[in-house]
Homo-oligomer: A and B are copies of this chain.
Amino acid sequence: MSVVSRRAGAAAAAFDAVGRFYFASRYSERRFAETISDFTFGNPQEMPLPGIGEAIRRHALPQNKNWFAYKTSETGPQTFVAGRLSAELGLRFAPEDIALTAGAFAAIALAFRLVVDAGDEIVFSEPGWFCYEPIAFAADAVPRKVALRAPAFDLDLAAIDAAITPRTRLVIVNTPHNPTGRIVQPDVLADLADLLTRASRRISRPIFLLSDEPYRRLRFDGRGFTSPATLYPHTLISYSYGKVLLAPGQRLGYLALSPLMPMPDRKALQDALFPAQMALGWTFPNAVMQYALPDLEDLSIDIAALTRRRDVLVGTLGAAGYEVLLPEGTFYLWGRWPAGADPERTWNALTDRDVFVMPGEILGAPGWFRICLTASDAMVERALPAFAEAVRP
C-alpha cells in the first residue's frame, strides 16, 4: 500500500499525461533549447511586459509597519477589482464579492471547497484544461466529463443536462475556451442558465456555475464577451492576471460571486470565503502583489501580435491540409492533423524539426493538437516550413 493518499494519487494519475509530456518526453529534453519553436504551454517566449517588474519594485519598499503583515482579501484591491469588474461585465459587484487569490488555480480550488463536499460531482466539458480533473480529485470531488459538440466544439447542453445528478454541485464553463479558442455566445449561456435553473429545481438545491474566465480579455477581431455571471445568479467567476500579463509565475487572481445571487446565498458565501481560503492554505496573493494589482490591471500582452501569428499559422496549416478552428479568443490555436496523417508520427516529424505542439490527447481530444500563440514571431517563422514538411507524404 502506498504511503501517498488516494486523493493525491488520483490527482497525480489524472495529471500523468501532462506530467510525462513536460518532464519526460522529447519536449522535456529540448524545452530549454534556444532554437526550438515552443508552442506547448502558455508560458512567455519573449521578455515580460516592463510594467510588471516596475510595479513590483514600486511596491516592494515598506511604507508602514504593516507592509508585510498577514494579508487576506484586502479592502483596497477588493474595492478596486469590484469597480473594474462591474464596469467590464455590466454588473454591480461589492468588494465583499471578491476573494483575492494567488492565481486562478487557487480560485478554482477554493470554489471546489466552498460549495462542493467530498463525493459531490462537478461537470465540465472535453476537450478542456487538463487541471480541472486533478484539482477535483484532490478535493475529493467526482468529475463528470461531457464532450463538446463537433465540428465547432460547441457546448452540448443536452449532454450537460443528462450529466446532472442529485450530487451535482458545480458546472464549469471556460470561456474564451482553452484549447478551442471559442467564446460561448449569449444565447447559449441563456439556454444554459435556464437548464441549470430547471436542474436546480429538480434536485432541490442550487447548482453553481463556475465561469472560468482567465482569457476574458484576450479576444480577436473585436469580438464581445458575455460572462455567465450576468445570466445565471449562482455563478462564481475565476480569473487570473497570469494570462493577460503572461506572468503566471506571479500568482494573482480572484474568485468573484455574481451580484445577481439571492442575498442569503450571496451573504453566506461572502462570509465563508475567508475561512475557506485560510483553511485551504492561506491562498491570498502576497502583500506586494496586492499593492501592485491596480498598476497591473490595464497591462496586456500584444493582442495584435497574437492575431498576426494566428493568421499566419492558420494560413500555412490550412494550405498544408490541417484542419484549424479560427480562435475567437485565448492565445491558442486548435488544430487537427490532416486526414490520414498518423498523430504520433506527425508530432514526431514536427519534433524532428524542433517544432513542439501539445498533443490533443492531453486535452481530451486525440487527433487534435494545440498551438500556443505566445511563441515569438521568430519561432512562428522558423516553424512554418516544418508544418508543411511534417505532413508531406
Q: Which A residues, 321 to 341, have Cβ-Cβ distances below 8 Å to chain B? A: none
Q: What are 20 of the A-B contact pairs (CB < 8 Å)?
A: A3-B269, A4-B269, A5-B113, A7-B113, A8-B114, A8-B275, A11-B276, A41-B70, A44-B68, A52-B62, A56-B56, A57-B57, A68-B245, A68-B249, A70-B248, A102-B251, A103-B281, A105-B282, A134-B278, A249-B286
A42 to B54, CA, bound (A): 30
Q: Please, what's the 1-or-0 string for A271-290, where 1 marks a CB less than 8 Å from any CB in chain B?
A: 11011101111111011110
Give the CA-CA distance A288 to B285 in the complex, in Å.
Answer: 13
Q: For residue A9, which residues in chain B have a CB less than 8 angstroms away from its CB?
A: 272
Q: Please tell me if the beta carbons of B60 and A48 are within 8 angstroms of each other in the complex.
A: no
- Whether A46 is near chain B, meaning CB under 8 Å from some CB there, is yes
- With A3-B268, A56-B60, A275-B134 as known contacts, state yes or no: A8 contacts B113, CB within 8 Å: yes
Chain A contributes a number of interface residues (CB within 8 A of B) equal to 90
Q: Could you tell me which residues of chain A, from 41 to 84, have a CB within 8 Å of some CB in chain B?
A: 41, 43-48, 52-54, 56-57, 60-62, 64-71
A263 → B minimal CB distance (Å): 12
- Interchain CA distance A43-B135 in the complex, whole Å: 32
Return the chain B residue nearest A273 by Cβ: B8
Specify which of B46, B57, B110 is in contact with A281 (CB 8 Å cutoff): B110
Report A101 CB to chain B, min CB distance, Å. Answer: 8
* A:76-133 near B, CB below 8 Å: 101-103, 105-110, 113-118, 120, 131
Which residue of the partner chain, among B2, B3, B43, B286, contacts A250 with CB atoms under 8 Å?
Answer: B286
Number of copies: 2
Chain B residue nearest to A107 in the complex (CB): B281
- A43 engages B70 (CB within 8 Å): yes
Residues of B within 8 A of A248 (CB): 68-70
A48-B19 CB under 8 A given contacts A11-B275, A56-B288, A250-B287: no
Query: Other than the known A41-B70, A69-B248, what 19 A-B pairs have Cβ atoms closer than 8 Å?
Result: A3-B115, A4-B115, A7-B113, A7-B117, A11-B278, A43-B70, A44-B69, A46-B65, A57-B57, A68-B245, A103-B282, A135-B279, A138-B279, A139-B279, A140-B140, A251-B282, A251-B284, A251-B286, A286-B286
Q: Min CB distance, A383 to chain B, in Å?
A: 17
List of B residues within 8 angstroms of A114 by Cβ: 4-5, 8
Could you tell me if A265 and B3 are in contact, using CB atoms closer than 8 angstroms? yes
The residues of B that contact A286 with a CB separation of less than 8 Å are: 102, 249-251, 286, 289
B15, B45, B53: the one within 8 Å of A279 (CB): B15
- Asked if A149 CB lies within 8 Å of chain B CBs, one says no
Looking at A8, A57, A107, A265, the one whose CB has the most chain B CB atoms below 10 A away is A8
Q: Taking the complex as formed, is A345 at the interface, i.e. its CB lies under 8 A from any CB of chain B?
A: no
8 A Cβ contacts from A135-149 to B = 135, 137-140
Asked whether, in the complex, the Cβ of A68 is within 8 Å of the Cβ of B48, the reply is yes
Alpha-carbon distance between A140 and B268 when the two chains are bound, in angstroms: 20
